[in-house]
Structure 1
């Protein structure tokens, strides 16, 4: 794998010129102080998806609702799919093939800032949705419902499995930057999504497409929301409260958070020494570690949230999914901390490579002569502060979201003590995440 791809733009401890102990202690203190302030000043729920937010300006409502606008987004998605297909099918098996950067950088990491700024962008441009809708029109079926009803009990579990398949490919598979491997993964992904979309409609994509679920979750931290068919402007935390708790949501956030933590862990000197000194293959160890991180994070969330529901009147088994939304700002914070320089710098490289999808010296997009700006890496103190701030702010927002949900669900006598297990879990995530950030 090319160094720029597996390094993920991180220099680890060498680009974090601040004290690890000070950062961890400060982050934990900020988390505990935040909880204390909330316990005193925040006694009743403040977020209600049914009434929060104010309607967007009329001109913007009309623009977003216009068929021409929606089809422009769909055509853009189809064009990007076609361009990616040219690179994947006709391009050469070289690490400079832009399909790798388009898939691992622009889609996977780039979806985060795009969704934060624009809302559920993948849902708008998804070529899979467009193809499923066209098939439904041709067959006379309902594009949203398809031929069969999507089983409610499945919820987001297919998306959790798809997300795990992606992070396994990116982080563990030894041949993740070989064109044949990527072609096979994409072929299976497209086949499963299109078959599911044809049978169950676009509702299947909303629950099972890993990239759509990922983008839509992150988009709930944007200021753009929906109240019925009305586009509204909300505070990010009020928008986050509108996440619908369905089965498997805790699995989705567990995979997203656990895989990001594993990505830091696998570059730590301790893990590298262990793998290199073992008689067992590094691929086996990394497979086990990725599974352990994702399953471990999910298990901690399940235990902490179920312990939260003392006397709540809500089924304990429902609590993990009801509180899972509070992990979204934490996930975004870790993605900022872990992938910021990777996105900025390798993202530029990808835009340069996209002008030459066949790797023969072409300049289709006029970007081949661009050069990569490494300004961010040349300012390590700024980069360190952004990374630590991302983790800390993400956890504080997570505490706020969990607190508001807890005081809505828990009886008055348990509204504070009932939150303690989840607070302990978040403190552990904060300390562990910063430790891994410095250790990698």
Structure 2
């Protein structure tokens, strides 16, 4: 199916030997089965079935601050390795942890196990400490200090910047470059938390928290009022309230950015601009093309989604406002985005995840073997 990240030193090229037609047929059958299920089974029975859940046990909030502080300490150490460790992205843990373990792997955990990010968020613990030292308000349910008209647009803009850095920037896996970008982002987000409050900024401004909380709605494990419940995957999406236009745009961007990542590596896309993939000119030469494609993919997906919602409302005779209908139906993008995210990054996770185990044992390339994995052989087979 083509090379994996030809622009990066990450992971050697890999080829999927299963014929492309099999992938297309499998996807078509999955979609057809979904539509048949919705068409043939009574809606009320389906709704009752998916809303069933099993109450498990109570989970205390007390360890949350400690876990967050440990996560923050780990983040600081990773920034140090980016600044002072190996220049090789496959030997430095910072790019491997951020691009592979966090972005590729942790998204999978959020979708499978629930909102783990709320416990490991590297801003929560420092905010709790700062609030005690400087007598800041600590109630996450405080009245909003972030203007309501902004909606999710701050998170949308920051997510777009993140996607641009990952997909378009000439060297997103350069350890020192990534260390500066991640460190500055943490400081800016912490400043925003101090100004607008942790609860409001994390819900509508900090893009990782917004993205992970939306993905976590698909998980079968859900925590409500301190109690853990086991339900069907995606069941919590049924009770999700309608998102504003900014929230709809955010979820569509999450899907379109990963879609463009796949499209941008194809012979078709590069051929449109006269680029020979076998003589890849490097990411610097494709900044303009990549930026255009990232924006265009979002616009096209948003247009197709808006058209589908509008036609659906007409066919169903739905009289509610378009924005409300779109804000409800966009939640159906979550399982699609999650499944594609996993499929897209699975090879990188399996291969680069092994490099991460090696690098974490010797984070500063000083010959350490902290976890006994520094001499592990990485296999791409």
Counterpart CA distance in 2 for 1:230 and 1:205 is 22
The within-5 A match list for 1:31-110 is: 31-44=31-44, 46-47=46-47, 52-57=52-57, 61=58, 64-65=59-60, 67=62, 69-95=63-89, 96-110=91-105
CA shift, 1:105, in A, is 0.8
Q: Structure 1: state its 5+ residue gaps.
A: 379-440
Please tell me whether residue 17 in structure 1 is matched to residue 18 in structure 2: yes
> 1:125 maps to what in 2?
120
The within-5 A match list for 1:62-211 is: 64-65=59-60, 67=62, 69-95=63-89, 96-138=91-133, 139-145=135-141, 149-203=145-199, 204-211=201-208
Paired residues of 1:156 and 1:249 also in contact (CA < 8 A): yes
33-42 vs 328-337, which moves further:
33-42
Paired residues of 2:6 and 2:13 also in contact (CA < 8 A): no
CA shift, 1:104, in A, is 0.8
CA shift, 1:297, in A, is 1.5
> 1:288 maps to what in 2?
292
> 1:399 maps to what in 2?
none
CA shift, 1:181, in A, is 2.8
> 1:213 maps to what in 2?
210
Please tell me whether residue 298 in structure 1 is matched to residue 306 in structure 2: no
Counterpart CA distance in 2 for 1:218 and 1:226 is 14
> 1:236 maps to what in 2?
233
Equivalent residue of 2:228, what SS?
strand
CA shift, 1:187, in A, is 3.2
Residue by residue over 1:256-303, the C-alpha shift from the partner in whole angstroms, topping out at 9 and shown as x without a partner, is 211111111111122233445499942211111111112322232223
Higher relative contact order (CA closer than 8 Å, sequence separation 6+): 1
Paired residues of 1:136 and 1:143 also in contact (CA < 8 A): no
> 2:267 maps to what in 1?
269
Counterpart CA distance in 2 for 1:299 and 1:130 is 40
271-280 vs 232-241, which moves further:
271-280
Q: What's the TM-score once normalised by structure 1's chain length? A: 0.74
CA shift, 1:193, in A, is 1.1
> 1:252 maps to what in 2?
250
Counterpart CA distance in 2 for 1:243 and 1:253 is 13
Equivalent residue of 2:361, what SS?
coil
Paired residues of 2:234 and 2:335 also in contact (CA < 8 A): no
> 1:415 maps to what in 2?
none
Paired residues of 1:156 and 1:208 also in contact (CA < 8 A): yes
Distance 1:8 1:303, change over 3 A: farther
> 2:312 maps to what in 1?
308
CA shift, 1:158, in A, is 1.9
> 1:427 maps to what in 2?
none
CA shift, 1:45, in A, is 7.2
